[in-house]
Chains A and B, each alone.
Chain A
Amino acid sequence: MADDPVVEMSNLCFGYGPEPASALVLEDVSLCIESREFLGVIGPNGGGKTTLLKMILGLLRPQEGQIRVFGVAPAQARDRIGYVPQHARVDPSVPANVLDVVLTGRLRRSSWGARYAREHVQRAMAALEQTGTQDLAGRAIGTLSGGQRQRILIARALAADTQLLLLDEPTAGVDPHMERGLTDLLHRLNERLPIVIVSHDVSFVSAHLKRIACLNRRLTCHAARDISWDVVAPLYQDPVRIVRHAHECPLSDPGCGHGCGGHETDGLRTGSPAAPVVPEEPGNA
């Protein structure tokens, strides 16, 4: 069980709106997420990061290619995925306290009635404890700082008995001090949960994560220590340019059998650490 990949995607293509290939947001993306994964996905705005998350959540369907989450179609696995949106998404003007927000993570299991049963309240409190925010339970959500709100949203995801944690830009609007606390928390959670972080904050991701995927329409994986400005710069300078790395995975790779997902970080490093970043010629896949 532990060896089965949590997320398996092969040759995904997706574009918003009708077909023309130039409008693809994701092109030929293959990725495999293992049960102990701590993956950071970086890339410029519009590079497809959020689209990738929505694919895993089953909110969007790929136009081509296959995606399985916990071995089933993404929408069927939704109850096992904890999604932590950018904290700005939660409306702070709603009259609700922190416990109310975390309890919405139990909604799938208790959607009728006006109150949550004690069992659900206990689960929500346990999730608050895991994120070190149990003292905030009674606070109005409008009074929280960005870092606190981020933790509350993680608690909400944990309250849903999640087996995979997806975070969208977790460091946006969080000050550096809170950021360190957040990283510690995520590392603790990673002891039992696979985690995927999507961010444009390269320094945060590269300093803390095991494996990094660069996404700008196409996706390439790196071991975190291989990430240097040489790798990242081309990703951001020119949104159309595609980076190719010397350690691109052979299709015969063990694991999920395609893409780079089967690699342990060691496997990636045995390539050439100083792999030059080669801008690919247009049209050359």
Chain B
Amino acid sequence: MLDFFRDMAHNEFLLTGLLAGLLASVACGVIGPYVVTRKIVFLSGAIAHMAVGGIGAALFLATVFPGWFAWLLPMHGAVLSALAGALVIGLIHQRATERLDTLIGALWAIGMAVGVLLIKYTPGYQTELMSYLFGNIAFVSWDDLGLMAALDAIIVGTVLLWHKRFLAICLDPEQAELQGVNVLAANLVLLCLVALTVICLTQVVGLILVIALLCLPAATAAHHTRRMGSMIAVATLLCGLLTTLPRMGVYGSRVSPESAIVLAAGGLYVLSVVYRRVRGGRV
């Protein structure tokens, strides 16, 4: 860990990686508690995997039709498809009468398959794909940090405006509707925020594993807090620690920092479950 700080002086990427982790912590610390409370972890996973389809489509279009789509970056495709995925899943969630989980699972798999397929048909060797799928916290650019900060601002701003509605639909959607809340709109906005959070987390842990950072710190926080506000605060703090300490811990070893972050989040959650179990609480 000391090596990490010593090298930070002449390796800018160590600093940007650290900042990326902290910026991502804001997004997943704020949205994670809603995801866990509203029980939409699975939906969030589907949104993340549909973003892979968007990355594939963006790479394919930019390479095959450079005249029209040269400007299209993979991140654009990811944002668009994640948001579109959020809207589609939100509408299905509201309307579907049966086999909701199967439908979501289908979207999850199709999104991923489309992405992999399009990348395979994109000329050239796409190394970039791996960094979207598995994260690349070792090489975060200042532009990436700018995007993450902007996403954080949107997420935090929207939650500050809509928190009361979000909490109401978590507690009792029917009552929220009777109180004049447009439940469908609130659900869609929440899922769009999940989509933006997914994008924010892409560089830190990769799309395949965003679900870990989205739900594990929040679920751990839920064990030790009793209100939404404190759950968000604790989850943000845990995310901040989880995206920095394991990264520093494995610095210089062959362990990839992204897996270290996810394993630490998972380990902490399991410990928290066991702790509650031993103390006799509910799990």
Q: Which residues of A are at the interface with B, using a C-beta cutoff of 8 A?
A: 57, 59, 78-79, 81, 83, 85, 89-91, 93-97, 100-101, 103-105, 107-108, 110-116, 140, 156, 160
Cβ contact within 8 Å between B171 and A101? yes
Contact A96:B167 (CB < 8 A) given known A91-B172, A113-B161, A156-B175: yes
Cβ contact within 8 Å between B226 and A104? no
**Chain B positions 88-108 with a Cβ under 8 Å from a chain A Cβ:** none
Contact A83:B178 (CB < 8 A) given known A100-B167, A107-B164: yes
Cβ contact within 8 Å between A95 and B175? no
A–B complex contacts, Cβ < 8 Å, 21 sampled? A57-B178, A59-B178, A90-B171, A91-B170, A94-B171, A95-B37, A95-B225, A95-B226, A95-B227, A96-B167, A96-B227, A100-B167, A103-B164, A107-B165, A112-B161, A112-B162, A113-B161, A113-B164, A114-B164, A156-B175, A160-B179
Residue among A57, A90, A91 with most chain B CB within 10 A: A91
B76 at the interface (CB under 8 A from A): no
Query: For residue B113, which residues in chain A have a CB less than 8 angstroms away from its CB?
Result: none
Q: Within the complex, which residue of B37, B159, B162 is in contact with A94, where a contact is CB–CB below 8 Å?
A: B37
- C-beta contact mask, B148-176 vs A, less than 8 Å → 1, else 0? 00000000000111111101101110111
Query: For residue A113, which residues in chain B have a CB less than 8 angstroms away from its CB?
Result: 160-161, 163-164
Number of B residues near A (Cβ < 8 Å) is 29
Cβ contact within 8 Å between A90 and B178? no
Cβ contact within 8 Å between A110 and B178? no
Q: Within the complex, which residue of B163, B172, B230, B231 is in contact with A114, where a contact is CB–CB below 8 Å?
A: B163
Query: For residue B110, which residues in chain A have a CB less than 8 angstroms away from its CB?
Result: none
Interface pairs A-B: 9 shortest CB-CB: A114-B163, A107-B179, A140-B226, A108-B180, A108-B179, A104-B168, A95-B231, A94-B170, A90-B172
Q: Within the complex, which residue of B33, B179, B225 is in contact with A104, where a contact is CB–CB below 8 Å?
A: B179
Cβ contact within 8 Å between B33 and A107? no
Contact A104:B172 (CB < 8 A) given known A111-B165, A112-B161, A114-B163: yes
Query: For residue A96, which residues in chain B have a CB less than 8 angstroms away from its CB?
Result: 167, 170-171, 227-228
Query: For residue B37, which residues in chain A have a CB less than 8 angstroms away from its CB?
Result: 93-95
Could you tell me the distance between the alpha carbons of A105 and B164 in the complex, rounded to whole angstroms? 11
* Smallest CB gap from B230: residue in A: A95
Q: Within the complex, which residue of B174, B178, B180, B228 is in contact with A95, where a contact is CB–CB below 8 Å?
A: B228
Q: Give, as a whole number of angstroms, the nearest-CB distance from A150 to chain B.
A: 14
Cβ contact within 8 Å between B180 and A111? yes
Cβ contact within 8 Å between A83 and B175? yes
Could you tell me the distance between the alpha carbons of A111 and B171 in the complex, rounded to whole angstroms? 15
Contact A91:B171 (CB < 8 A) given known A100-B227, A108-B180, A140-B226: yes
Query: For residue B118, which residues in chain A have a CB less than 8 angstroms away from its CB?
Result: none
B193 at the interface (CB under 8 A from A): no
B80 at the interface (CB under 8 A from A): no
Query: For residue B227, which residues in chain A have a CB less than 8 angstroms away from its CB?
Result: 95-97, 100, 140
